[in-house]
Amino acid sequence: MVTATALEAELLDIAGSVPDPELPVLTLRELGVVRAVHVRGADSVEVELTPTYTGCPAMEAMSLDIERALHAHGMREVAVRTVLSPAWSTDDITAEGRRKLREFGIAPPRVTRDPGPVALRLGPTRTLDREAGADTDAAAEAGVGREASLLSDPVRCPHCGSPDTELLSRFSSTACKALRRCLDCREPFDHFKEL
């Protein structure tokens, strides 16, 4: 285990404070995509960046923004390296990041990693998918690798907070989002889908 130097911590902070090009309310640190910063020389630095999706078209813009920020901080040579492993997960989005997404009108992803004992709740889950029939939403979400605990946690409307929302499309304006609609306030909204 290599301990990061104070300079590396400082540079990581700067790289992490760059806003996400597609969701500018979030910083790259809040999104959880800046993995590490390694100082390679007096004014040379390498940054490890991980994509949210393999084909994320924002990677180039992120790299350029990080380079610009670190150049401005006196680094002459900045190399941004893409790392795939371990794979990014929506669990890497910080609590602050989730709050900002909600404020921005995007339902944040639910936590998929097993947080320990799960409290059981009685009553129906209301993430309905009316087109495909009764049991399919739960079955399909389990089918795409979600933990069972996720199913008891409804996607809430970011506008009114209602848990009564329905899926309109699993793919939305970007690969990382699904399109849903609130059954109470009737507003459609993006949901940062769990990955």
Partner 1 sequence: MTVDLTTNAAALALGDDALVLSHRLGEWAGHAPVLEEEVALANIALDLLGQARVLLSMAGDEDELAYLREERAFRNLQLVEQPNGDFAHTIARQLYFSTHQHLLYARLAAGDGPFAGLAAKAVKEVAYHRDHAERWTLRLGDGTEVSRRRMQSAVDALWRFTGELFQPVDGLDVDPAALEATWLESVTDVLRRATLTVPEGRRTGAWRAGAGRQGLHTESFGRMLAEMQHLHRSHPGASW
Rounded to a whole number of angstroms, the minimum distance from the CB of residue 188 to partner 1 is 11
Nearer Cβ to partner 1, position 42 or 84?
A: 84
Q: Which residues bind partner 1 (CB under 8 A)?
A: 51, 53-57, 84-89, 131-132, 136, 140, 143-145, 168-175, 179, 193, 195
Residue whose pair of structure tokens reads 């609130």 in the numeric block: 182
Nearer Cβ to partner 1, position 16 or 88?
A: 88
121 CB-near residues (< 8 Å, 6+ apart): 152
For residue 22, CA distances in Å to 31, 34, 123 come to: 11, 16, 37
Rounded to a whole number of angstroms, the minimum distance from the CB of residue 73 to partner 1 is 28
Tell me the β-bridge partners of 191.
Answer: 107, 178
Rounded to a whole number of angstroms, the minimum distance from the CB of residue 172 to partner 1 is 7
Nearer Cβ to partner 1, position 89 or 94?
A: 89
**Interatomic CA distance for residues 160 and 12, integer angstroms:** 36
Rounded to a whole number of angstroms, the minimum distance from the CB of residue 116 to partner 1 is 23
Tell me the β-bridge partners of 19.
Answer: 27
Nearer Cβ to partner 1, position 81 or 99?
A: 81
Question: Are residues 78 and 47 in contact, defined by beta-carbon separation less than 8 angstroms?
Answer: yes
**Interatomic CA distance for residues 117 and 94, integer angstroms:** 21
Nearer Cβ to partner 1, position 11 or 49?
A: 49
Alpha helices by DSSP H, 32-105:
59-72, 95-103
DSSP 182: E
Rounded to a whole number of angstroms, the minimum distance from the CB of residue 42 to partner 1 is 31
